[in-house]
Structure 1
């Protein structure tokens, strides 16, 4: 006998993203009466399908699609699937969108508005779903803030006819100052806003300058630096749980995942192999490593 699907919701504010309201929900019997939001509505359908009335007609949003509602636009919502629909939702205030454009000095005439109620854009859906997951599992502010700006820029360029930003250009001094701050805060990384302030650039412009100079966004550069430090400590015999705590990983499992993705072995395996190699060197009298 099949178990009836259960409705589940999780609603919170993402402090790293300026307290944007987020929702992760699975609805089966929910029927949203006609209503409006003073924010944008950006949702990604993860399972099932949703139907809703918007701008005078009914729309169907199947799995993998996105729903876009501009501020103050009246709409409804209900299921279009026998087991309901599951989605991830963002409800950003207007300034959370416009400030991203202003950071890149992109010209705009008033508030960016979206013409399509339902989008079929897999790359964009992946970007927003990934961002939502980062916020849900409490990723660093640096990673969330970078991912938010990149996702918003992709959204407005493709679906609100916003101009392409200029190339970021070179700012070697800004990158050096940012790297010095990242080095000093390896276990407790600064936010994107903090790095940008040290660099003397707007947050999004800084993120693009940094990526152009290093080939990586700031959070990914920091992760590479953490992993390099982790290898050094493991070679010295540090236990993986101690390394994880010292370098600011959320827990040992987080270190294990990142380390194996980069090097193909777990931190424990790397530590044991390093210890065995040092023991051989000592026995051969070639090298004495404490």
Structure 2
């Protein structure tokens, strides 16, 4: 039987999920956050950076912000895992030097890590989010987890597969222009021709360049922006139906379908996760 428990901290850009999936399949998506996952049972198969990956029990997953990935059970028994999403601004704050100066954001070259120290740190962090730990203890767990991840798993730059490496700077420029348009007007019904004109290339060239640079088709990226907008509205207390309309979805059912496909839970469950009386 599949189940999901979700928790959002009201005063920190931190969210956590503890779940078991057997039949559910995540569509290709990304998060604005760093996402650190610990597989507890079974194995999860997923695609990331153009390659097939597997995280089995005891392994740690590390996704950089805006890094596309999908996911599904690798076997009939399904998989159980815990994942924590931490905002880049909090990571930057936790990594600032003694004088308070930013030291730069880390990047993770390998999305699957075998490291018992990291696994233990993530388990402790989840425990601090789910029980009655004080805010200080929670912040200490956050700091310890981020420090462990950076010192043991991060590198100066992520590795690129040959499939995602761009051949021409012009393609990167076109993709960046299209992304800027989508970031600014993701609620608008933007057509492929309009986006290609803004990018300065053909529709097909833009599609190839955008996927190569960002790992998603422009339409998938637009939907992701709308999902993120809906999450923010729901997290701020707006009704799910209102969040659906205001974030560009046809209706609540449309939002619910994509919300679950990308995040593993319904908008209603995400909304309830922010209540202080909800267990984790």
Calculate the TM-score normalised by the size of structure 2: 0.52
Residue deviations 1:103-128 (CA, integer Å, cap 9, x gap): 54588764211101101000111111
2:91 to 86, 93, 97: 97
**Deviation at residue 138 of structure 1 after TM alignment:** 2.6
1:9 to 4, 12, 15: 4
**Deviation at residue 39 of structure 1 after TM alignment:** 1.1
Q: CA RMSD in A?
A: 1.9
Structure 2's unaligned 5+ residue stretches are 157-280
- Matched residue of 1:96: which SS? helix
Q: 8 Å contact 2:38–2:60 — kept in the other structure?
A: yes
1:44-123 matches, within 5 Å, as: 44-102=38-96, 104=98, 110-123=104-117
Residue deviations 1:11-62 (CA, integer Å, cap 9, x gap): 121246x141111111111100111111111100011110100000000101
- Matched residue of 2:32: which SS? coil
Q: 8 Å contact 2:25–2:71 — kept in the other structure?
A: yes
1:158 aligns with 2:137: no
Distance in 2, matches of 1:148 and 1:154, equals 10
Of structures 1 and 2, the one with the larger relative CO (CA 8 A, separation 6+) is 2
2:34 to 40, 44, 52: 40
Q: Are the structure 2 counterparts of residues 105 and 26 from structure 1 closer, same or farther at C-alpha, using a change threshold of 3 Å?
A: farther
Distance in 2, matches of 1:98 and 1:105, equals 13
Runs of 4+ in 1 over 6 A off after TM superposition: 106-109
- Matched residue of 1:71: which SS? coil
Q: Which has the larger radius of gyration?
A: 1
- Matched residue of 2:4: which SS? strand
- Matched residue of 2:24: which SS? coil
Q: Are the structure 2 counterparts of residues 72 and 140 from structure 1 closer, same or farther at C-alpha, using a change threshold of 3 Å?
A: same
The equivalent residue for 1:140 is 134
Q: Are the structure 2 counterparts of residues 106 and 161 from structure 1 closer, same or farther at C-alpha, using a change threshold of 3 Å?
A: farther
Residue deviations 1:247-286 (CA, integer Å, cap 9, x gap): xxxxxxxxxxxxxxxxxxxxxxxxxxxxxxxxxxxxxxxx
Distance in 2, matches of 1:106 and 1:59, equals 37
Distance in 1, matches of 2:136 and 2:92, equals 20
Distance in 1, matches of 2:135 and 2:72, equals 34
The equivalent residue for 1:247 is none
Distance in 1, matches of 2:131 and 2:25, equals 28
Q: 8 Å contact 2:19–2:82 — kept in the other structure?
A: yes
Calculate the TM-score normalised by the size of structure 1: 0.51
Residue deviations 1:187-235 (CA, integer Å, cap 9, x gap): xxxxxxxxxxxxxxxxxxxxxxxxxxxxxxxxxxxxxxxxxxxxxxxxx
Distance in 1, matches of 2:149 and 2:81, equals 18
